[in-house]
Structure 1
Amino acid sequence: KKSGKITIFYKEDGLSGNEFQDRTSCQLPNGTIIFGGTDGLTIFNPDNININHHTKLLLEDLTIHNQLVHPGKGQPVEAILDSCKEINLSHDQNSFSISFAALDYGEYQRTHYFYKMEGFDKDWIDAGNNALANYANLPTGHYTFKVRITQNNNAIQESSIEVYIHPAPLNSWWAWLFYTFLMIIVAYFVYRNSKRAVIARRAARQAEIDKQQEQRTNKMNMSFFANIAHEFRNPLTMIAGPVSQLADKTYLKGQDQQLLYIVQRSIRRMFRLVNQLMDFNKLENDTLKLKVENVDVIKILNDICDPFEFNVKQKNITLSRIGMNDTLMAWTDRDKLEKIVTNLLSNAIKFTPTEGVITIAVDLIQKEEAQKEIKTLITSHDTFYVKITVTDTGKGIPENQLDNIFRRYYQLDNQTKAIINWGSGIGLYFANSLAKLHHGYLKASNRTNMQGAIFTYIYPINALSYTEEERKPIKGEETFIRPIKRHISMSKIEKEETNKKDDRPTILVVDDDTEVINYMRVLLSADYNVRTCLDANTALQQMRMKEPNIVLSDVIMPNKNGYEFCKEIKQDIQLSHIPVILVTAKVTLDNQVEGLNVGADAYVTKPFDQKVLLALIRSQLKNRERVRNILSQSTTTNEEIAKALSKQDKKFMDELYEVMEAELTNSEFNVNRVTETLHISRTKLYYKIKGLTGQNPSDFFRNYKLNRALQLLKEGNNTISEITDITGFSTLSHFSFVFKKRFGISPSQYKR
């Protein structure tokens, strides 16, 4: 039977050989075919040959790194390989072998193997009769291993299994996700840092430009102020000369003479400030020169201290001098020494409390002791040094700020709460710069046994410590003011004012500048009782003991400034009715708004016209007297009173009127009842009612009852006897007596 197919057989299929002779074949009648060849005859009947032979193909074993893998849980294969659906290999098991076999041992020579790892191999690999597939360093991924067998060039069986090679933990998908996220973060930080670097470079360039601009501006400003300061000297000289001549006149007495003394001291102060400004400009331009001469240092120091005696007495401070009764000759620049010590004493006076002590001491020390003090290299020429110390009993200096207080424009805290270097912030910087110019050293420290600051100034006294140029005679013009003669002391004026027994209004002046205090006392003492304080805390204590009629306060003061002082007054129920006038050198509109916002009744800038100030004081006192008159005739806080009173005072009067109205019929009504209801002490109640109405509480309560009685009489709805009961008077006769005494007419006459 013809099938139309050709099947090729070889010696492995049962032939005698693979070579046959030409014309040596025949077919027998029964269909048997005979072929003759070099190896003998091959005889077969085609009908008896089965070409569709079925052979089973099995996957046998898995070997990893030449180690046979036994099936089990957690192993690459969990059962025998042929029954598994997949092989799971880790990243370090990627070199392995898979064995397979065809289950037809009789046809062994005729079985031909082909295998392929889909996803890795592109073509089938011919393994011949070798039933083993080897793979080394196979990449991670998902593959399908396939194997098949062929006979007579026909594929008769194929088998496959899934192979998974899992990546290393550091090469897994979530690891790569983390790497991507990390790279994004790194890229972001690199970008941000690079952006910051660019911004920082731009800021640095801008800062350098701003610094250069600031230096140019500062130089221009310093030059301008130096020129202005130089121009000040001429008019100051023209003022100083005539004032000194007037001060010598014998016909000037009392306040006139005292005013001249105030002018003289102010002129001296102006000269000192002008000279300091000019020297400061020279320091900045490095043109300030040192000119030393052999002089008596102790005499110079005593001359410096003498003018300060007046200021310390006004503040009740003791100025103690140690080692200043002898003579000490030293090469010294008189001008520089005076400016250094003056700055140190001014700071000490500014921040030493009332009844404190300031000590200035001078001593001659040797090189070794000076070395211990300053801890810097000292030249061999400097064998002896002058040591000047200024000690106070103020608050001292925070330890972490000791190295900063000599910096230019540096102030501890701020202008109104500074502990040291209060004001412009250049005083100690200027003094330290002058000390260095004098080949000396200025050091700040704190007292160890008690509160207070110590400033130590050390400089060499030998001629060889200074250059020949520095020892040349001083050339140039110096301006001197003759010493001030005090024929009349302020204490004498205070005593005269104290001895005057009158009912003049009391003014409390609060200012840390003793010269301003003195001027205010001279200006106001003719018409008012003047009390003075140098700081806000002391002023508050005095006000609570004895209330003034009005307060004049500076703004820039240490510890507590004028704004805080005014705010505290206006928030104190005992003191809130007292008018406060801020008198200050802070002249901007914002300063004035801030002062008025904290409750100040008026704001006056320095320099002020004395007529304006006196008129303002009179106006405030008249307004206060007008409010008193209205309150003494009122029974409620009407619109007129509400406008004249502060919110706190209005609230107090509303509560007081409410209490008095509730107790109107009570004939036993007294101060105790009010203090209990309003939760206020008797003393505060007395001062508050006295300050607001000018009457003591008992009189004010009685007048309130009479004012209510007057209202009831006007209404005409009650008899006089009923009104007597309603207003809490015990008898009709007593009511008629006090009514007539207050209004000048009896109740019956008023009713008619």
Structure 2
Amino acid sequence: MVRCMEVSQEKGYVWIGTRSGIGRFDGYEQRRYLRGNVTHILEDEEHTIWVITEKGVFRYNEIEDNFILVRDKDNNPVIASSLCLWEDGVIFGGRGRLYKYNYEDHIINLFHTLKPNGKYHISNLYQWDSHTLLATNRWAKALFIDIATGNTRPVPFNSEQIISLLIDRKGNVWVAHYNQGVSCYGRNGKQLQTYHTQNSPLKTNVVLSLEEHNGQIWMGTDGGGIHILNPQTGKISTLRYIPGDRYSLPANSILCLYNDKSNNMWAGSVRNGLINIKEVGMKTYQDVLPGQNYGLSEKTILSIYQDNDNQIWIGTDGGGINLFDPATGKFHHILSTWEEKVASITGMDKNHLLVSLFSQGLFVFHKETHRYQPLVIINDSINDILCHRGKTVNVYQNTPETILMLSETPYKYHIDKKQFIPITKGKGITDIVGTLLPINSTGEDCYLHDLEHIYKINSSLNELELIFTCQTDTVFNSVSLDENGLLWIGSNYGLSYYNPVTKQYTLVPNTLINEISSLICDRQGRVWIGTEEKLFAYLIKEKKFILFGEPDGVVQNEYLEKPRLLSSSGDIYMGGVNGLLHINRHLPDEPALLPTLQLADILVGGERVYDRISNDHQLSVNEKSKPIIIKIITRNKDIFRKPMYRYTITGLNGQNIYSYLPEINLSSLPTGSYHIKAACSTRNGDWTADYDILTLIVLPPWYKSGWFILSCTLFIFVSVILIFILLLRNKETKLKWAMKEHEQQVYEEKVRFLINISHELRTPLTLIHAPLKQLMDKLTADNENYPLIQSICKQSERMKNILNTVLNVRKMEVGQSTLHVQSIQLDEWAEQLISDFKPEASVRGITLVYQPEPEIQTLCFDKEKCTTILTNLLINALKYTPDESTISISTRLSEDKTRVRISISDQGPGLKDVDTNNLFVRFYQGNNSRPGTGIGLSYSKILVEQHGGNIGAYDNKNFGSPGATFWFELPLNTEPGNITLHPQEYLNTLLAPTQETESIPKQQEENKTAPNHTLLVVDDNKDLTDYLATALKDRFKTIWVAADGEEALRLCRKKRPHIVVSDIQMPRMNGYELCKQIKEDLEISHIPVILLTARNDEESQLYGYKNGADAYVTKPFEVSMLYAIICSQLHNRERMRTRYTDIGPLPPPEEGTFSSADEEFLNRLNQIITEHLDNEQLGIPFICDKIGISRASLYNKLKALTDMGANDYITQIRMERAIWLILHTELSVNDIADKTGFSTARYFSTVFKQHTGCSPTQYREKPPVSTQ
């Protein structure tokens, strides 16, 4: 039982409310929702679907594809029984209450409580006006409700037992009272009209539903079908169920009527579901039970004929003859012809038909008695041809007196004379291909066709005339003549036509139709085409096709070529294997609205994922996802029309997929982004625009994802790097071991040499020191040689100590060193050692001050080694302490009472610019000074570390005093005894060379690149030239390569490179000869040449320079060094050209050139210009003539040498001469202009001012300071 329905405006879904729930139909399938009795369905202005059930109000959730129970602000279910659209929302009516849903805040709340009818049950709600609602209930009278207050008042018309109510477009109220028919009331309550069984064609007074459609009132009744009332005329028509009539109303009990926004009428029946009611101009009649008059006795039609009484006789395939009355639309089955196969049928006279029965022959059929009688054929041969060959004979009455009998041999039969006249074959006709079929008769002309030809019968000659022959592989299936005399042809190549007058054949282009099985022309300029179980109409004037389908009354049918009829009324009849199609000449007009398409749903592996679609219609799925089904919905006026769909998938090679289903199934899509569009066919055979449906992003699985591939790539990359590093480290480790072994070997050799040399030096040193000691002992202190001898003796003593130190360190290295630690009185030991230095200090006026720590009594150390440490520190302090100063020696206990520090503080220059970390490294110097500290401090550091102590120094300026303090610390807890020292490479530490770095001033790099210069590289070694060209390609505009001197010379003269780099040893012409040729050629002598050679002797270099080489580079060389030399040469050229372009005197040729040829050229040029300076004709032609050089060569040469043109160079010399004359003579400006070759003084002044910035007079009055 269909109680209510709604057609969605947004997507075109048909929502159906029944007692058992709600259903949704999209034209192809139905989906069910909810369970329970559904009384109302409504779509609001925001396209939200609202449903009223006994359980409450539900709202459709499109994202989750379900219905949600609506709750108010207190989270209570909203219970209502009716609803009505309002301008700003939806109003719901319940028991004594009104609820309102607002579009603004999307909230539903209690709106009003009815007053005074607080318990009134609102079954239906209608908008009466802008501030009033009309509420109805079958068991109570209707009420008006004030929308502002909720107050109620009675309605002015009879409202008892209202089953259905309708407010039409004029504002009148139509009311169906139970079992009282229908009454119409005005707005004031006045009854305008009433309709019931007593005064109208109504079959019952129980009207269950009312609806308005095209200004007519539709009434759905209980058992009486649908009555359609025209309010203007009062005429009522009826739609009812008629048994056997497939075009009648399927049910007579209609519970609800609904007119959708597309003006389609729907009827909800009590027991027969939902019915779509549509006016069509076509009907397809199929077989029915014998005796029923709304169909055929056999659905396959073989022939059709209309007699003069407009009765249509139909020959079927085994069902005999049927008679159809177009006026009543009823059939009469002639049972006496049952089981006959009527191959062809035509008229004979008023009471008889001529019938061709398959395999039986020709018979005369009596219209009244319905009896057959064989046609009498006296001639046996004719009788055999027409009746006993087992071939179909087609009969056609071309004139009232004659009938054409078309078989393998055509005959004309004269009805009155009962005479058979053979029709002969005309010129050009050989054989009949297939069976002859009649086309049409137009007066005297009668056209026929077989499978390859079209003929016309010449009535006077009884002869077939060939009109048209098809192409080689074309087959004529059906031909029809239109009112303009054109022959329309349906063939295996589609639709075409032939003009017998112009003899022109035209193929109608289309993509819809392949092979046509049947066609016929009507009188409205249409060609009806049956093809591949489809029906098309071709509009001749508009030149377009229209497809008709089931919604138009057409069923799938394989139309046959013979059963075609253009009736006397203009209607079309086409027969086929699935019934007879009747096309009314007056087809209803339908608006040409194009359907729209949009996404309806999407399923991945059977699971709905519509909620995962983003706002920009994108969906991401994994590559290994199960099949993806994308469903679309077509918003069309006729939901039952089944178009063809075209799906375009961008990203899949632009592939188009065609289907008759509104869904596409995708599987196994590779990773990527796919933009899916959809279009559908229209009735005229075109396609709608492509609608964007969805962008599908197929993500790769985790092992194909970008991050995983990137991670693997990084892992492999890092692994390769780690492996490379490990290999490199392994190689470095091996290299280090090899270096260590080499260093050890070198060290051993160095130490061996040092020990040997030390032993060798001890003997001559003894022979030096001993005599000096004796000599010094013999001299008195006042002897003038005593200081000198004393100094020599002192230094020889120091040399002896150094040699002893080296030998002692060597003993420690080979394991022969032992610390003899003993407890020693610290103060006594220190004072005794200090006293040994007091005589030397007193001579210089230096005071030695000892400051002991009272807490320290004894300390354990090796006395000999610590004596050496303190002695070295005192010697260092005396060395840097100035005369008449103080050296302080102090002992101090550390804060943690574990170490004793002995400090020596002087008042010398301090440790400014000295790195204290390197202070105890041998021969360390600060601030690039040479006076080092010797090995004393280094040796002291070794001895202190052997005791487990530390040694260091700091600058006294940090504490506000001059000088520096050196200190060493010894541990306090050392026990007395002998400590064996482990062998170490002490000599390597002691004697290691310090890192002496020379600060080389950085020369400012110039000409890092030469982007505007060109280079020629010459060498017979291709590897070298390729390497240089590759290494320098980014630094030069162009690099040319030559394999020998001759090729290089040609390139120089043709390309004029800025610089040449050439090897010396080459075939054909070596580098010396190439350099000589370049420097002697005036055209190219300015090009610098750099020679590359493996010979580094002075003779070779001298020979190269004599031949004009600008630079010499010895192999092997670094590219950076070569490039620096090239840049230097180019920079020198640029600098020299700048001297020419700067304001001032020109440089002499010997300074401005780099070759003798260039120098000679400039000398000669200067001489010519100077000698003819006062000549006004002095110019480029004059100079070229004097020198014997072309204009281009003169320009190129001067441009290369001076970066100036010839005219500028002449002007420069003229200006130099003019300046000299201004400063050293009293000549007037006019005279100076004449002597310098200017035609007028005014022109001279202009040029002079451009050159110097002032006029000649101003220059003479105040010459520049730099002018000589």
Normalising TM by the smaller chain, what interval? Answer: 0.3 to 0.5
- TM-score, with structure 2 as normaliser: 0.27
**Bigger strand fraction:** 2
Question: Bigger radius of gyration, 1 or 2?
Answer: 2
Q: Quick one: higher RCO (CA 8 Å, sep 6+), 1 or 2?
A: 1
